[in-house]
C-alpha cells in the first residue's frame, strides 16, 4: 500500500520530535494533566461539549479568504480589516490547538507540531503583509498574503489528518455498542466498596463502582484519548483519568473538567440473584 503524502513528510522530519517535546514540557504547568483545569476547560471546549479548536480555525481561514476576494475586488480597507481579523483569529486558534495537542505523542505529536508551526508561519506572513500594505507597498503585501493563504491551506490539510486519521479531538467511545438489554457482568460479592472493576458487556469496557448502597457504571474508556478510567483516582462521586486528568461524574458520566469535552456513556444497573447486570441508559 502506498504511503500517504503526510506520512512521507513526517518520516522526513524526525528532528521535529525534540522541539515538540520541549514545547509540551513548557506548556505542562498550564495545559498538562496537573495544570490549570479552568484554563483547560475553556481552551478545550469542555464547557461547549465539543472541541473548541475546529470552530476557532474557521475565523482565520474565513477572514483570509475574504481578504483575497476583497483584494481582487479592489476594496482595500475591507481587505486590510479582514486580514487583521484573521491574525487575531489565528492566535485564538493557536491557543485552542495547543490545548488539544498537549496530550499527543508519537506521530500525532510530530504532525501537530508541524501543523502549528505552519499556522504560526502563515500568521507571520499575514502580519508582514499588513505592515507592507500600511507602508504603501500594497502589491508586495497582496502577493505575500497569497503566499500566506497557501501555507494556511496546506496546514489545514495536515490538520485534517490529525482529526480524521489519528483521531485527535474525536470521541473515543463513539463507535462502541453498549448493551441495550440487561447483561450480567459480575457477581455482586466480587465488587468491593470504592474499588472500580473493569467488565465487558457486548464488547464494550465498562467501569463498575459501588458507593454505599448504590452501584454506578460508566464506560471505562475515556472519551478524550482512550485512557482506562477504572485505573483512575476516585474522589467523592468523580473519577479522574490516569492519562491526562479529565474528571467525570461516576453517577452519570458527565465531564466535569477537561481536557475531555464529551461525557462517558452511562448505564442502568440492577442486582438480581447476586449478579450485577447493566444496560445502556435510555436517552
The tens-digit pLDDT sequence of the chain (283 residues) is 677 888 898 899 999 999 999 999 999 999 998 899 999 999 999 999 999 999 999 999 999 999 999 999 999 999 999 999 999 999 999 999 999 999 999 999 999 999 999 999 999 999 999 999 999 999 999 999 999 999 999 999 999 999 999 999 999 999 999 999 999 999 999 999 999 999 999 999 999 999 989 999 999 999 999 999 999 999 989 999 999 999 999 999 999 999 999 999 999 999 999 999 999 987 6
Q: How many CB atoms lie within 10 A of CB 184?
A: 14
Which H or E run includes 239?
strand 238-240
Is 266 exposed, middle or buried (CB count within 10 Å of its CB: 0-12, 13-18, 19+)?
buried
| CATH number for region 183-280 | 2.102.10.10
Distance CA 265, CA 180 (A): 12
pTM above 0.85, yes or no: yes
Q: What is the DSSP letter of 202?
A: T
Amino acid at each position: 500500500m502506498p504511503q500517504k503524502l503526510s506520512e512521507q513528510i513526517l518520516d522526513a522530519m524526525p528532528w521535529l520530535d525534540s522541539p515538540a517535546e520541549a514545547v509540551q514540557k513548557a506548556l505542562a504547568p498550564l495545559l498538562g494533566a496537573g495544570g490549570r483545569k479552568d484554563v483547560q476547560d475553556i481552551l478545550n471546549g469542555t464547557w461547549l461539549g465539543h472541541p473548541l479548536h475546529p470552530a476557532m480555525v474557521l475565523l482565520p481561514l474565513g477572514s483570509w479568504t475574504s481578504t483575497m476576494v476583497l483584494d481582487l475586488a479592489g476594496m482595500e480597507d475591507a481587505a486590510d480589516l479582514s486580514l487583521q481579523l484573521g491574525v487575531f483569529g489565528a492566535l485564538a486558534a493557536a491557543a485552542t490547538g495547543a490545548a488539544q495537542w498537549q496530550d499527543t505523542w508519537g506521530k500525532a505529536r510530530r504532525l501537530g507540531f508541524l501543523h502549528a508551526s505552519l499556522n504560526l508561519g502563515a500568521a507571520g506572513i499575514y502580519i508582514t503583509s499588513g505592515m507592507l500594505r500600511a507602508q504603501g507597498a500594497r502589491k508586495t503585501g497582496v502577493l505575500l498574503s497569497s503566499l500566506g493563504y497557501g501555507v494556511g491551506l496546506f496546514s489545514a490539510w495536515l490538520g485534517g489528518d490529525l482529526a480524521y486519521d489519528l483521531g485527535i479531538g474525536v470521541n473515543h467511545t463513539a463507535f462502541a455498542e453498549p448493551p441495550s438489554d440487561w447483561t450480567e457482568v459480575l457477581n455482586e460479592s466480587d465488587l468491593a466498596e470504592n474499588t472500580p472493576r473493569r467488565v465487558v458487556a457486548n464488547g464494550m469496557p465498562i467501569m463498575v463502582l459501588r458507593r454505599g448502597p448504590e452501584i454506578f457504571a460508566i464506560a471505562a474508556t475515556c472519551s478524550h484519548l482512550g485512557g482506562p478510567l477504572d485505573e483512575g483516582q476516585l474522589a467523592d462521586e468523580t473519577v479522574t483519568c490516569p492519562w491526562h486528568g479529565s474528571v467525570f461524574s461516576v453517577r452519570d458520566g458527565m465531564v466535569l473538567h477537561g481536557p475531555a469535552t464529551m461525557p462517558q456513556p452511562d448505564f442502568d444497573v440492577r442486582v438480581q440473584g447476586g449478579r450485577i447486570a447493566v444496560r445502556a441508559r435510555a436517552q
